[in-house]
Amino acid sequence: MARAIDTEAVAVPAGAYDWRRTIAWIDHNGNETERARLRGLLGRPRPEAKVIRTLEARQNDDGGFPSELIQGRPSSIDTTALVLRWLQDLGTLAGAVAQRVVTYLFTVQRPDGSWDQPPGLVRYGPPPRLLPGDSRVQALCTAQAAYWLVLLGHRHDHAVSRAMGYLRARQAADGRFLGYIRTTWMAAALFRCTEGPGSAVCARALDALGAVEAERWSAGALVGMLNCMAEAGVSTRVPVVRQGVARLRALAEPTGSWPSEDGEFYRVEVSLRALRVLLLYGAVSEPMSEVEGPQDRAGEPASGGGAS
């Protein structure tokens, strides 16, 4: 079983969640890649070569991954970040596939330090959150790309500092970043990874996240936010994390799975990410009186893999 990373004990109310049901449910309902990711999360050191070859075959020549993983489409920041998450679960972020992604991210950064979805994506009718040319999408893509460059070992690269300058100028007085709430939690994690626990930018963003009403946090949003917080070393002493872990446990269904606001097709994906969060925060034991959280470290991400 994977263990919580660099932990410190923090009290969190126990729920009725039984993580063994999640394992059984994913193993029964997941596809080949999802079952391989489950085994990676549970500590299997070597992923199935077939799964890695399948992902390699879908990688575009520029190093990114095509929108919705449909061959022939241009590389998408969002899809590329999704595949990096899969590679992280598989324990292969240090491999050739991820290194080609790094080349792609460096190549497509815009002169102002931002990233955007490719213009060629428009012809495929993307949803608003993926529409190139939208300033909200650019902010999200920038947070995603810079965050993953940090996790992939390029924390001190000029590309990351330029991206941070772009994002810093797009943080409102209330702590939120331009556009989607997802941008705020990814940027918060990015700034904490690079500037450490004392980052004022991150602190304001965490306050903004904490101001979101509990009922507005869907399971999918919770796992996205909490994954980033865990990787950035934010412990459950921070209220939004403590409350988020408790709510995530409470949202687990009797099967051990979690619902997805994007439909049943994504239920396994959300459940895998939820399991990962609970493993990272040591919140899988039942019964439980304490939950462990990532220890605060001076600007180091809690895990490089081995986090749209």
Helix, strand and coil percent figures for the chain, each rounded to 5? 55, 5, 40
pLDDT at residue 285 in the model:
59
In a domain, 88, yes or no: yes
Range of the domain at 196: 7-294
Half-sphere CA count of 293, side-chain side, radius 13 A = 26
Calculate mean pLDDT across residues 52-72.
Answer: 96
Per residue in 220-242, pLDDT (tens digit) is 999 999 999 999 999 999 999 99
Q: What is the pLDDT of residues 261-281, one digit of tens each?
A: 888 889 999 999 999 999 999
Q: Is position 159 within any domain?
A: yes
Contact in structure between 144 and 308 (CB atoms under 8 Å): yes
- Of 85-89, 146-150, 298-302, the least confident: 298-302
pLDDT at 73 over 70: yes
Domain assignment present for 301: no
Residue 300 lies inside a defined structural domain of this protein? no
Residue 48's pLDDT is: 80
Span of 22-26, 182-186, 214-218, 290-294 with lowest mean pLDDT: 290-294
Q: What is the CATH number of the domain that holds 140?
A: 1.50.10.20
Span 128-151, average pLDDT? 97
Q: 287 lies in a domain? A: yes
Domain membership flag for residue 299 = no
Question: 253 by DSSP, 3-state: which?
Answer: coil
Q: What is the Cα–Cα distance from 303 to 308, expressed in whole angstroms?
A: 16
The answer to the question of residue 259 being in a domain is: yes
Percentage of residues of the chain with pLDDT beyond 70: 87
| Total domains, the chain | 1
Would 308 be classed as within a structural domain? no
